[in-house]
Structure 1
Amino acid sequence: MLIDLHTHSSVSDGTDSPSELVRAARDRGLDVVAITDHDTTAGWDEALSAAPSGLVVVPGMEMSCVGRGEDGDPVPVHLLAYLFDPNNEVFAGELERLRSERAERIRLMAELLAADHPAIVPDEILAATGESAGRPHLARALVDAGIVGSVQEAFDSHLATDSPYYVAKIDTPLELAVEMIAAAGGVSVVAHARARSRGRLLDPTQIRELATLGLDGLEVFHADHNADDTRFMSDLADELGLIATGSSDYHGKNKVLELGEHTTEVDQYDRILAAASRVP
């Protein structure tokens, strides 16, 4: 049984529509796939209705959070949420705030870029993005305009955190996000916590603290984890009694990642289902 619990559609920063994503998942031989777009559930209905026979679609999301870095300073963290009630009033309100933050941030960054690169048209970028506008949309615009040669080059230059075009956003405190997901009947899993290529890392001590607040799991097997960090995350999950997941973090053509590149063991998936108090 092949289970991939972290994928993105064009509703956020992937390139496949939700329908295309689930069909591609089945073509790759997956039995279970989670749709986890950034800060939105807008792709759920399409993915669920388009799911081919034999494929289970897990409704999920990747939430923009802020945690405590190993150096003690704030650090961006992504928190995967599964099987929560999208109509939970408090949680839905926070997700709406995050989406507003995303859209305003991308508009500001696009305007800064446009001042130096007239080929970048902020209104066109915002009009073409889904609810969860993000830096990958700007990266694709920079590539299409011939300003950079690849999405990765865009992230390494114009969109880097030390770039004059970079604008920060106000994300949800990690502790609050874990509590909100639990209150909405969902299951929370910290995504790619040792992804060194993305910058500074989350303090493992905070993961231990989160486990006492209701954190359910850790994404252990991920393309951005090297062998030592995979082992570290696996040991930490065992130490804390947390669910250990594996996934592709598939983004279609926006990243060189294949569906099912990393997968979750059946017993760990079963723990997610058991932990969810609401299963759509």
Structure 2
Amino acid sequence: MLELHCHTTYSDGTLTPAALVDAAVNSGVQALAITDHDTMGGWDEAIAAAPTSLEIVPGLELSTVCAGRSLHVLGFYPDRRRLQAPLDERLEGRKRRAQAMIEKLAELGYPIELSPMVDGMAPGRPHIAAAMHAAGYVTSTKEAFSRFLAEGKPACVAYEKFDVLDGIKLLRSCGAVPVWAHPYLFRGAAVEAVLPEFVEAGLMGLEVYHPDHSPSDVRHLEDFCQQYGLLKTGGSDFHGPSKRYPGLNSLHLPLALLDGLKQAKQSLAA
């Protein structure tokens, strides 16, 4: 009944916030977090579309780096006014990165134009892949990644560096509850090697339940939560209906997990 990790068209999801709300309701979800990459732009539409039976949890997924590799931190219940300005800086970095990849593709003989984006949308590689597909350069967005946009491929450009410790501290300073997203997808170091430093910086939780986590991963993360006094969250990391991503409510997470998140938020406000 709980989804604490979902994306919309404001980042790399395929459903608008309103369509995501409809899909969540139809899937039996009772609490839905909007966690787009580096933007809070989808909140208002989701809140306006949500019936009384669905609680919208405001959040985002902050792009950071650790040991030279990408690492994402979920932030729940941030103070929007305090976070907006630093987040705008992250959005501008995303735009610069997208433009650099577009220029690389043009140099390779594949000029593209991105579809217009409303304010608050965070451009990323999925948008570029979609533009390549629309231009007829590739047969699918998957091919665009495998040939051009994946790490190490000719048109890929790395994120502008934003250290994970700075990201955690930024979220805490803006009243958000920072949670390490899908820790076992991180390729820069072992979870147990970097976790103590993250906790010291202010990390408050781990995304324990995720489609890419094995049962042993889940057990390890549950143990880490107990060891460090961290809260547990989870979600399907839903990006839209596709074979790549599991369906909404596929993990059947209990609403009780949201209670811990709200308690953590209250502890910040105290």
Q: Give the TM-score normalised by structure 1.
A: 0.87
The aligned counterpart of 1:266 is 255
Distance 1:200 1:210 in 2: 14
Equivalent of 1:180 in 143, 166, 170: 170
Distance 2:166 2:62 in 1: 12
Shift of 1:45: 0.9
Equivalent of 1:246 in 234, 240, 254: 234
Equivalent of 1:219 in 207, 227, 230: 207
Distance 1:46 1:243 in 2: 28
Aligned-pair RMSD on alpha carbons?
Answer: 2.1
What pairs with 1:95-244 in structure 2 (closer than 5 Å)? 95-118=87-110, 120-121=111-112, 124-125=113-114, 127-128=116-117, 131-195=121-185, 199-201=187-189, 203-244=191-232
Distance 2:181 2:169 in 1: 16
Distance 1:168 1:12 in 2: 17
1:276 is paired with a residue of what secondary structure? helix
The aligned counterpart of 2:64 is 65
Shift of 1:181: 1.3
Equivalent of 1:256 in 237, 245, 269: 245
Shift of 1:200: 4.5
Shift of 1:126: 5.6
Alpha-carbon deviations, 1:157-190, whole Å to 9, x = none? 3111111211112242111221221121111111
Shift of 1:114: 2.6
Instruction: Confirm or deny: 8 A CA contact 1:9 1:15 kept in the other structure.
Output: yes
Letter in 1 for 2:72: H
Distance 1:188 1:220 in 2: 14
* Alpha-carbon distance change, 157 to 200 in structure 1, aligned in 2, over 3 angstroms: farther
Alpha-carbon deviations, 1:217-267, whole Å to 9, x = none? 111111222233222222222221211111011111464331112254333
Alpha-carbon deviations, 1:120-156, whole Å to 9, x = none? 42xx316247620001111222333343333333323
The aligned counterpart of 1:70 is none
Q: Which segment is superposed worse, 254-263 or 39-48?
A: 254-263
Distance 2:202 2:174 in 1: 12
Instruction: Confirm or deny: 8 A CA contact 1:246 1:263 kept in the other structure.
Output: no
Identity of aligned residues (%): 35
Letter in 1 for 2:226: D
Instruction: Confirm or deny: 8 A CA contact 1:80 1:189 kept in the other structure.
Output: yes
Shift of 1:116: 2.7
The aligned counterpart of 2:81 is 87
2:224 is paired with a residue of what secondary structure? helix
Distance 1:103 1:126 in 2: 13
Give structure 1 stretches of 5+ with no counterpart: 68-72
Q: Which segment is superposed worse, 39-48 or 150-159?
A: 150-159
Letter in 1 for 2:8: S
Instruction: Confirm or deny: 8 A CA contact 2:241 2:247 kept in the other structure.
Output: no
Q: Give the TM-score normalised by structure 2.
A: 0.90
Instruction: Confirm or deny: 8 A CA contact 1:98 1:171 kept in the other structure.
Output: no
Instruction: Confirm or deny: 8 A CA contact 1:85 1:184 kept in the other structure.
Output: yes
Letter in 2 for 1:115: E
Letter in 2 for 1:102: R
Letter in 2 for 1:57: I
Shift of 1:11: 1.0
Q: Which segment is superposed worse, 251-260 or 13-22?
A: 251-260
**Number of aligned residues:** 266
Equivalent of 2:71 in 77, 82, 98: 77
Distance 2:172 2:125 in 1: 29
* Regions of 4+ moved over 4 Å: 199-203
